[in-house]
Amino acid sequence: MDLQALLDDLATESAPFAAQGKVADYIPALAAVDPERFGIALATMDGRVLGSGDWRVPFSVQSVSKAFALALVLARDGEALWRRVGREPSGNPFNSLVQLEYEKGIPRNPFINAGALILIDRLLSLAGDSLGTLRTFLREESGNHGVDVDVEVAASEAAHGHRNAALAHFMASCGNLENPVETVLDHYVRQCALTMSCGDLAKAGLFLANHGLRADGSRLLTRSEAKRINSIMLTCGTYDAAGDFAYRVGLPGKSGVGGGILAVLPERGVLCVWSPALDAHGNSVAGVEALDRFTTRTGWSVF
Ligand code: GLU
């Protein structure tokens, strides 16, 4: 199969779907991104990275970072995490407050905002510097030592982060935060504001396709832990549209409101697509379209 030609075709066919979506504007700095950007990259297990369109252009990774944060916490803490966060789809928007109160400060899963705040809180306790630990990991796995925080995006989110602050304070009131709310929120906005290209992200995610083995051959996760993260990506990784994403794409995926989606092709590689215009759930419209077309044409899905 000519994968380069396929990625080029997908870029041409899928990019126009962005017209059906809208760039996130609740974080003002994200609203400035050109909605016509489109990139797609495929990192394969044999070390190749192919791409088309804007696949080398860095963008705001936002919640795509949560898949990596989960891996770093599980690697250090194992099953202990599940006392503080669940692993069921939420069926609610990613920044919803209402469910958290009913469920006594235990977030439904690690990929909604409340759950991601728990990941950061735990990584702060385990590693001292949550953002620094994650950034080092992403630099090492992607091979791009320039991966860093966009301070303008971080400041913009911090200035408009009342909902995340509410989630964090509520969890603290339930005894489900170990570190000060302000510290957790600071690491959270900087983590979301990391910028990476599709090529960087696809490479950085390869351990998820490789049963937990890192780029240097060392083991980050057991085979079983890698399976569990992929499973949570499949059931919870694309907001409250994870069912539709599984139906259309048939791969574990994690999306972010910057318009990126990371999708894992077990034992084959990792795809990353970026198109900033989002549907009502927060997933990139053209991104989901491209992934749907990719798995439909190649037959490479987990099903
Ligand atoms: N920083 C964003 C927020 O907290 C991340 C949302 C996302 O990408 O899902 O709202």
Check pLDDT > 90 for residue 287.
yes
At residue 92, the pLDDT reads 85
Check pLDDT > 90 for residue 91.
no
State both tokens at 243: 């069912």
113 lines ligand 1 (CB under 6 A): yes
At residue 49, the pLDDT reads 98
- For tokens 């407050």, the residue is 97
94 lines ligand 1 (CB under 6 A): yes
What residues are annotated to the active site?
63, 66, 188, 239, 257
Q: What separation in Å is there between the alpha carbon of 167 and the centre of ligand 1?
A: 13
For residues 163 and 191, give the distance between their C-alpha atoms in angstroms, rounded to a whole number. Answer: 17
Amino acid symbol at 199:
G
Ligand 1 atom with the shortest distance to the CA of 257? 8
157 lines ligand 1 (CB under 6 A): yes
Contact yes or no for 295/40 (Cβ under 8 A)? no
Q: What percent of the chain has pLDDT above 70?
A: 100
Pocket test for ligand 1, best of 61, 63, 117, 279 (most atoms within 8 A of CB): 63
Ligand 1 atom with the shortest distance to the CA of 63? 8
How large is the average pLDDT for residues 190-204? 98
Amino acid symbol at 161:
G
Ligand 1 atom with the shortest distance to the CA of 164? 4
Of residues 187, 77, 206, the one with CA closest to residue 140: 206
Helix axes 65-77, 130-142, angle to 10 degrees: 110
Residue range 3-298 forms a domain whose CATH class is: alpha beta
260 lines ligand 1 (CB under 6 A): no
- pTM of the model as a whole: 0.98
